[in-house]
Structure 1
Amino acid sequence: MRRASRALTYPEVGASLTDELPAGYHHQRHRAVLGTGRALFERSSAAVTRWELHRRAGVSPAPGTPPAATGLDVDLRATLGPVVVRVPCRVVALVDDPDRRGFAYGTLTGHAECGEEAFVVSIDAQDVVRLEIAAFSRPGRWYSRLGAPLARAAQRAVTRRYLSALVM
């Protein structure tokens, strides 16, 4: 559900799906081989677009959140040990090609960071299925600037959980 008071907190919308991430941000780009075969590609891409990847990694959307679609606002809750963090985001792009599927979302007002993250599952000519996660971010609030080293460590931990969430 889109709320008029929430806006994206950065100008480079869609840049997480490009080869070169924008300057002035912390960058992450990671890939994991999930296995082989079209059936695995279909299951994995459905898990990404239906938020199952996030749920398995401890980043849960509100119950009843529909599959990722451009313009969808989603309120995620990230669990990092005993801490629960509210993560308001908007899906800014959907990837729906025969051999690549996923989406990118960007931070909204109220998020501790400013930036974007993409989750894309692909299958190549040899039927190898991969998950790629690309992100750019920088602190968006005083407490995330103050705790930047902790925020980066938390981001790396969540990314590791995402990367291992689809390994079946």
Structure 2
Amino acid sequence: MDLTYPEVGATRGPLPEGYQHVHAHAVIGHGRARFQEAADAVLHWGMQRGAGVLVRAGADTAAAGTEVTVGFWGLHAPCRVVYLLDEANRRGFAYGTLPGHPESGEELFAVRYDPADGSVHAEVTAFARHATWWSRLGGPVTGLAQRLITRRYLKAV
């Protein structure tokens, strides 16, 4: 199955035009140990599960190519992990939408360690647009739902 958008990997840099954009982050602690703990949680679907999202994944740990279906409020949204972040001070993954997802786009879930002050940040970056008639119809509600779930992702790790 092909991804439903052409800009695969675009959450690594400037987000593409023509989509709604999300940039959210929160300080979740301090210290290298906290960073390692949060990174492990993110790579084991911790942002999603901690936010109350149902996760059915092809692997316990996020890896490029892993297919995952996330579910909430009766919806089931198929995705595929498109890349991993595995840097000294930043870890996470991005997944992109597959056919059957009500949106089309990509979402990055990451944690970052700032060696300058020891702070650890949870980060969510995304771009998406409606892919179904009913998600377009519910535009204001889906936008509110996106903001709510993003806040929950940040608190989950």
**TM-score of the superposed pair, with normalisation by structure 1:** 0.89
Please give the residue correspondences for 1:1-168 in structure 2 after superposition, counting only pairs within 5 Å: 6-18=1-13, 20-62=14-56, 65-78=59-72, 83-125=73-115, 126-166=117-157
SS in 2 for 1:22: coil
Q: CA deviation at 1:66?
A: 2.0
- After TM superposition, give the deviation of residue 63 of structure 1 in Å: 7.0
Shift of 1:12: 0.4
Provide the secondary structure at the position in 1 that maps to 2:147.
Answer: helix
Q: Distance in 2 between matches of 1:59 and 1:137?
A: 18
| Alpha-carbon spacing, 1:139–1:64, altered in 2? closer, same or farther (3 Å) | closer
Is the CA contact (8 Å cut-off) linking 2:64 and 2:83 kept in structure 1?
A: yes
| CA deviations over 1:83-132 (Å, ceiling 9, x no partner) | 32101000001001111100000000000000000011110122111011
Aligned residues: 156
2:57–2:67 Cα contact (<8 Å) kept: no
1:15: how far off? Answer: 0.7
Q: How far 1:64 sits from its partner (Å)?
A: 7.0
- If the length of structure 2 is used for normalisation, what is the TM-score? 0.95
1:128-166 CA deviation, whole Å, 9 max, x = no partner? 110111000000011111111111111111101111112
CA RMSD of aligned residues (A): 1.2
Once the two structures are superposed, residues 62-85 of structure 1 have per-residue CA deviations (whole angstroms, 9 ceiling, x without a partner) of 27742000011111112xxxx321
Instruction: Extract unaligned runs of 5+ from structure 1.
Output: 1-5
